[in-house]
């Protein structure tokens, strides 16, 4: 397996999970975000999200070219990046992380504007951009709910 394939599929996880590999990858990102946030708050989560996004653009681009598919379903690095972004916005509580997961997956699946439009960008940027936006939107909604004291 090429380096790009290992990155894009999260070490092959996207290939071996038969149902909802993106959801599984998102769920696996949660304890990583939690552990990173336990170190020094949200900054390590932000740094990880930036690194995963950058590496994901490269890996997803090459992997999609190898497979000759615009956005292969087994390419799950984008879900990891989006989930990390969603978690970077919110306090480290079970409720906030659970909502970050649910909202991120909802927006990633439903793809409201501008998320759906971002997915149509070319190559690795398009593969990653919709999840980055879905994660940012999920995090911002949770922050708004916290500010409005709904959470």
Yes or no: say if 62 and 4 are a contact pair by the CB < 8 Å rule: yes
Within 8 A by CB and 6+ apart from 26, the residues are 79, 80, 82, 83, 101, 104, 105, 108
Q: Which domain holds residue 143?
A: 3-12+19-147
Question: Residue 151's pLDDT is what?
Answer: 81
Task: Read off the pLDDT of residues 76-90 as tens digits, 9 standing for 90 and up.
Answer: 999 999 999 999 999
**Domains: count for the chain:** 1
| pLDDT computed for residue 147 by the predictor | 96
The pTM for the full model equals 0.96
DSSP-derived letter for residue 121 is S
- Is residue 135 within 8 Å of residue 85, measured between CB atoms? yes
Q: How confident is the model over 15-25, as pLDDT tens digits?
A: 998 889 999 99
CA distance 139 to 99: 9
DSSP 58-86: HHHHHHHHHHT-SS-TT--HHHHHHHHHH
Task: Return the bridge partners of 40, or none.
Answer: 42
Distance CA 96, CA 32 (A): 15
């Amino acid at each position: 397996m090429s380096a790009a394939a290992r990155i894009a599929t999260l070490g092959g996880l996207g290939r071996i999970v038969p149902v909802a590999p993106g959801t599984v990858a998102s769920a696996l990102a949660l304890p990583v975000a939690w552990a990173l946030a336990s170190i020094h708050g949200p900054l390590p989560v932000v740094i990880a999200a930036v690194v995963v996004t950058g590496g994901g653009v490269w890996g997803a681009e090459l992997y999609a070219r190898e497979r000759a598919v615009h956005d292969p379903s087994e390419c799950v690095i984008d879900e990891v990046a989006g989930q990390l972004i969603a978690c970077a916005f919110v306090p480290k509580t079970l409720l906030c992380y659970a909502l970050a997961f649910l909202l991120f997956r909802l927006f990633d699946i439903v793809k409201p504007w501008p998320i759906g439009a971002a997915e149509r960008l070319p190559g690795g940027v398009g593969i990653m951009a919709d999840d980055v936006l879905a994660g940012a939107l999920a995090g911002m909604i949770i922050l708004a709910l916290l500010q409005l004291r709904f959470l």
